[in-house]
Amino acid sequence: MDAEFADRRARFAALHEAGCFVIPNPWDVGSARALAALGFEALATTSAGMALSAGRPDGATTRDEALRHVATLARATSLPLNADFEDGFGASAEEVGESVRACVVAGASGLSIEDWSSDPAIGFHARDVAVRRLRAARAAIDFCGERVLLVARSEAFLNGHPGGLGEALARVERFASEGADVLYVPGLSTDEDVRAVVRVAGRTPVNVLVNRPNFTVARLADLGVRRISVGAAMARAAWGGFLRAAREIAAEGRFDALADAAAYGDVVSLLTKTGERRWP
């Protein structure tokens, strides 16, 4: 990997050493460049946001599509990019390792591996299976020799595992012992939930998902959270504006909602503000 990506990866790792930062989730080149222009220090893909832009539900993206998306966004700005890499795109731990190596080559500065499969016949990977898959991801990153952060993500709380938060805590504690650089339990909604994850994490940085206005950056920083992501929430916010306008036009023949549209010149100004590679 070239020196430019090595520098991004070093900057990304440094962001996790102290304090608390927001890593927003763009879903295309335009949203990535706008977020970079607004001063964010790192970005993360969103599997759901990407899938919706292709007219599909989350989990319906192929490995090759995900890798192309990572490569595109990694080159859209000069910021470090964390890849939402779902469950690693592999039926076996060995295949997860192959996919992770490809994700590193695509330009990711970090990548998350979760313990939930989009295949309804699988659902949650058994805890030991999830550990083997994470171990394979760790080995793949180490083999590449790049400083890419491994984010271990348990969906047990968010997706209704019978063990709930307790199961998620047991899983991420095990993931930390297997070499995870960051721990992530989506679905936390109270201070007590967050404290529980931070306590189990110990020295390992914790990422918290905020997809509704129930936390602030300052509050999560006080709770010991190191980084904050928003998942598909910004993409859904964009969809919200689009659908409000479209439904009003279709149902009422009115165009009032278009008054909330961003000015074209303001958007173009953001897209060119950072002096990045302007047009792909």
Domain ranges of the chain: 3-232
CATH of 3-232 given 3.40.50.1820, 3.20.20.60, 3.40.50.300, 3.50.50.60 = 3.20.20.60
First to last CA, the chain: 21
Give just the sign of the alpha carbon dihedral 93, 95, 99, 100: positive
pLDDT at 273: 82
| Residue 101, CA distances (Å) to 105, 112, 145, 269 in order | 6, 13, 10, 36
pLDDT band at residue 171 using 50, 70 and 90 as cut-offs: very high
pTM of the predicted model as reported, rounded to 2 decimal places: 0.95
pLDDT at 3: 87
**pLDDT tens, position by position, 135-153:** 999 999 999 999 999 999 9
CA nearest to 206, candidates 197, 216, 219: 197
Is a pLDDT exceeding 70 seen at residue 170?
Answer: yes
